[in-house]
Amino acid sequence: MKISGKTRVCAIIGDPVEHSLSPVMHNAAFKKLGLNLVYVAFTVTTKELKDAVLGARSLGLLGLNVTMPHKNAVMRYLDETDSTAKAIGAVNTILNDQGKLIGYNTDGNGAMRALKENGISTDGKKMLILGAGGAAKAIAFQAAREVEELVIVNRTSGKAEKLAEVLRKKFGNKVKGGALSVEVLKEELKTADILVNATSVGMHPDVNMSPVPSDLLRSDLSVMDIIYNPLETKLVADAKSVGAKVVSGLEMLLYQGAIAFEIWTNCPAPVEVMKRAALNKLAEQGVHH
Ligand SMILES: NC(=O)c1ccc[n+]([C@@H]2O[C@H](COP(=O)([O-])OP(=O)(O)OC[C@H]3O[C@@H](n4cnc5c(N)ncnc54)[C@H](OP(=O)(O)O)[C@@H]3O)[C@@H](O)[C@H]2O)c1
């Protein structure tokens, strides 16, 4: 790419950020569309967060992605936060709109778009979400808008119950929380249409672990695992082997990035190019199918 006096910058801030897939995904997209933009990664410690955000505004950066551990703390330095990000309590994308910093959360929408782009409709469906951490919360807020019934289960059941209670106030009685136990899974999976693993169970190096016993999976269940290392988790492999539709964590990563790209550029994201760039980077890092 040609860097000129008019090149604008987008960046990811977090700690650590060196292994982030966002720089390759976004730079591939900028190149594909011939946009005069460049995307870099900045390691920012908690102590430096405020200066980094104010600096981004002073330097006229176009956009930021925000990752661990700043997704919540960054909110206090923004001029506006969109209602979904506010409700979730986490921002992963910032737009610098002519000096006004606006925060968004594209994780939940990214997960829902990953399902739809893979032929899984959420309308009228029952979804079971495993986990009640940051990612689960973002997905649950978006899912609650779309599905007929939402059940959230977590190892620490109180966290799932609390999240469900918050969602019930907004979306009514279709949301329920509970424990991540074999008994509960057995019961809930009888009637679930979509299963989303938003726990870290099955993530590298524990690749032989799955949060769901394989005999509870069915061919008419759609399964999304948001873990992308490995690209195919044990849960996804088990689901595939019973003939279920599956969606990998790379798809969520891709679409949360695609939505951020669209917020910054107002152009439809070239998702195939972004996906190829992410897959190449993962392969370089030793993550394969
Ligand atoms: N594809 C994407 O775009 C994307 C985006 C964000 C995150 N992720 C992935 O999603 C996973 C969760 O991320 P997060 O940010 O939500 O993390 P987090 O806030 O730390 O939450 C972790 C979740 O996993 C559960 N958990 C951890 N170990 C467990 C175990 N041994 N048994 C049962 N449950 C367990 C936790 O339960 P407790 O509450 O009981 O501890 C909690 O619900 C990570 O693997 C991350 O890489 C993917």
Ligand 1 nearest atom to the CA of residue 249, by list position: 1
Helix (H), strand (E) at residue 142? helix 134-146
Ligand 1 nearest atom to the CA of residue 250, by list position: 1
Q: Indicate whether residue 203 lines ligand 1 (CB < 6 A).
A: yes
Model confidence over 235-267: pLDDT tens digits? 999 999 999 999 999 999 999 999 999 999 999
Residue with CA nearest ligand 1 atom 11: 200
- List, in sequence order, every beta strand (DSSP E) within 34-143: 37-43, 63-66, 80-81, 93-97, 100-104, 126-130
Q: Are 62 and 36 in contact (CB under 8 A)?
A: no
Active site residues: 71
Residue with CA nearest ligand 1 atom 21: 133
Model confidence over 67-102: pLDDT tens digits? 999 999 999 999 999 999 999 999 999 999 999 999
Predicted TM-score of the model (pTM)? 0.96
pLDDT of 156 > 90? The answer is yes
Ligand 1 nearest atom to the CA of residue 137, by list position: 16
Q: Exposed/middle/buried for 219, CB within 10 Å: 0-12, 13-18, 19+?
A: exposed
Residue 96 sits at the vertex; the CA angle it makes with 92 and 97, to the nearest 5 degrees, is 125
- What lies within 8 Å, CB to CB, of 185 at 6+ separation is 128, 153, 212, 213, 216
Residue 210 sits at the vertex; the CA angle it makes with 134 and 187, to the nearest 5 degrees, is 85
Q: How far is residue 192's CA from residue 255's CA, in Å, rounded to a whole number?
A: 24
- What lies within 8 Å, CB to CB, of 276 at 6+ separation is 28
Q: Are 216 and 243 in contact (CB under 8 A)?
A: no
- Which of 91, 159, 199 gets mutated to test ligand 1 (max ligand atoms within 8 A of its CB)? 199
Q: Are 195 and 189 in contact (CB under 8 A)?
A: yes
Model confidence over 93-134: pLDDT tens digits? 999 999 999 999 999 999 999 999 999 999 999 999 999 999
Mean pLDDT of the chain: 97
